[in-house]
C-alpha cells in the first residue's frame, strides 16, 4: 500500500504538487493520470525519496522510503529517465543492483528471462533500443520481487507486442496481491489495464475512483445517426425531447436515448437511416472533460 499524505512540492514559484492525499491499494492496477506538467513524475519521485517534499509525506507499507532496508525488496520502480551506465551490460547492471540488496544472482537471470532480454544479457546497454531499455528498467523493478511497484510511462517505446506484454504483466502482478501504480498518457491502454484511477491536474487531486465510475461520471454515451434527411430527423428527435447535435461529418448525435428508441422514432416518421450506432463513452473523453481546465500546455487553435 502507498499512502500519500498532504504532499506538496514547490520549485521556486512553481507549485508542482499541491496538498495531495490518496492511497494506492494492493490487488489492483491503479492508473495515475494527469496532463503534461500535472505533477505525476514529481509525486513518483517523492514516493521513492528521489525528491524531498516541501511538506507532507509518503508511506510505503507504513514506512517512508528512506527508512526501508533493502528497498528493492519492498518497492520496485521504473521511472522515465532511468540512469543506467551505458558501458555496462544488462546482466551486470542488474547484478550490481541485486548485490546491493542481497538478492541472489539466480534472480538476475530469472528477471532477464521474464522481460525477454536473456539473449542480449551480456550486450552493452549503450546499443539498446528504447523498448529494450524499458524492458531492462522493468527487470530492475521486478528484481527484488517487491510487493509495491511503480511504473512511470511503462509502455513508452514498446511495440504492440510489448504493450500487450506489459498489460498482462501489470495485471498479473496485481492479481497476485501486489500494489501496482502506473502513470500513462495512453488512455486506451489505461482503460484496459487499470481498475482504479488517481487523476491530478496542476498538482491537485481531481479524481480518486474506479475506471468505470470515472467514465460514467465524466463522459456520456450517445447514439450516432446518419440519414439522407438530417433536418427531418433532427426535428423528430427534438420533438421527442432528445437533445441532438450535428457532428462535423453531418451525422447527428443523439444524447440521453438508446439506439432502439431512435430507430423506432425514425420508423414512425418514415425516415430512412443509414446508421444508428451507440458510441460508448471512453476514458479519453472523460479525461479530457475533467482535465480540460487544468491543461498547462496547449497548441494554439488545438482541438479538444
Ligand X SMILES: Nc1ncnc2c1ncn2[C@@H]1O[C@H](COP(=O)(O)OP(=O)(O)OP(=O)(O)O)[C@@H](O)[C@H]1O
Binding site for ligand X (CB under 6 A): 11, 14, 16, 34, 36-42
Measured CA to CA, the distance from residue 122 to residue 129 in angstroms comes to 15
**H-state helical runs in the chain:** 40-47, 90-100, 105-114, 130-142, 160-175, 187-193, 211-218, 230-239, 259-268, 283-291
Rounded to an integer, what distance in angstroms lies between the CA atom of residue 97 and that of residue 93? 6
Q: Which of 80, 75, 73 is nearest to 64 (CA)?
A: 75
Nearer to ligand X, 142 or 152 (CB): 152
Q: Which is nearer to ligand X, 227 or 291 (CB)?
A: 291
Q: Is the distance from CB of 279 to CB of 224 less than 8 angstroms?
A: yes
Q: Return the number of the residue (40 or 234) whose C-beta is nearest ligand X.
A: 40
In the bound complex, what is the minimum distance in angstroms from residue 213's beta carbon to ligand X?
A: 22
Q: Provide the grid cell at 107.
A: 534472480
The CB-of-257 to ligand X minimum distance in angstroms stands at 37
Strands 148-152 and 179-183, sheet pairing: parallel
Q: Which is nearer to ligand X, 52 or 274 (CB)?
A: 52
User: Taking the complex as a whole, how short is the minimal distance between the CB of residue 40 and ligand X, in angstroms?
Assistant: 3
Q: Which residue lies nearer to ligand X by CB, 39 or 162?
A: 39
CB of 192 to ligand X, least distance (A): 20
| DSSP assignments along 1-26, one per residue | -EEEEEEEEEETTEEEEEEEEEEE-T
CB of 82 to ligand X, least distance (A): 14
Strand partners, 227: none
In angstroms, give the least distance from the CB of 16 to ligand X.
3
Q: In terms of CB distance, is 34 or 71 closer to ligand X?
A: 34
Q: Is 244 exposed, middle or buried (0-12, 13-18, 19+ CB in 10 A)?
A: buried
Amino acid at each position: 500500500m502507498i499512502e500519500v499524505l498532504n504532499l506538496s512540492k514547490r520549485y521556486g514559484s512553481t507549485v508542482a504538487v499541491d496538498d495531495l492525499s490518496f492511497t494506492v491499494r494492493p490487488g489492483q492496477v491503479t492508473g495515475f493520470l494527469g496532463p503534461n506538467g500535472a505533477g505525476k513524475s514529481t509525486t513518483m519521485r517523492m514516493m521513492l525519496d528521489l525528491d524531498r517534499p516541501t511538506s507532507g509525506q509518503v508511506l510505503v507499507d507504513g514506512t517512508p522510503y528512506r527508512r526501508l532496508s533493502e528497498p528493492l525488496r519492498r518497492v520496485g520502480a521504473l521511472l522515465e529517465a532511468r540512469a543506467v551506465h551505458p558501458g555496462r551490460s544488462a546482466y551486470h547492471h542488474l547484478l550490481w543492483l541485486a548485490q546491493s540488496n542481497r538478492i541472489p544472482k539466480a534472480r538476475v537471470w530469472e528477471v532477464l528471462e521474464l522481460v525477454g532480454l536473456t539473449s542480449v544479457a551480456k550486450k552493452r546497454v549503450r546499443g539498446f533500443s528504447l523498448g529494450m531499455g524499458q524492458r531492462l528498467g522493468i527487470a530492475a523493478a521486478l528484481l527484488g520481487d517487491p510487493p509495491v511497484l511503480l511504473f512511470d510511462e511503462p509502455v513508452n517505446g514498446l511495440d504492440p507486442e510489448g504493450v500487450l506484454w506489459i498489460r498482462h504483466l501489470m495485471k498479473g502482478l496485481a492479481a497476485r496481491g501486489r500494489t501496482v501504480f502506473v502513470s500513462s498518457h495512453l488512455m486506451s491502454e489505461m482503460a484496459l489495464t487499470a481498475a482504479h484511477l488517481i487523476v491530478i491536474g496542476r498538482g491537485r487531486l481531481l479524481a480518486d475512483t474506479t475506471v468505470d465510475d470515472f467514465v460514467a461520471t465524466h463522459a456520456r454515451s450517445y447514439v450516432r445517426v446518419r440519414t439522407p434527411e438530417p433536418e427531418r430527423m433532427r426535428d423528430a428527435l427534438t420533438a421527442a425531447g432528445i437533445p441532438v447535435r450535428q457532428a462535423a461529418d453531418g451525422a447527428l448525435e443523439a444524447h440521453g436515448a438508446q439506439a432502439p428508441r431512435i430507430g423506432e422514432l425514425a420508423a414512425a416518421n418514415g425516415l430512412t437511416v443509414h446508421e444508428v450506432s451507440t458510441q460508448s463513452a471512453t476514458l479519453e473523453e472523460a479525461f479530457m472533460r475533467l482535465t480540460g481546465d487544468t491543461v498547462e500546455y496547449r497548441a494554439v487553435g488545438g482541438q479538444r
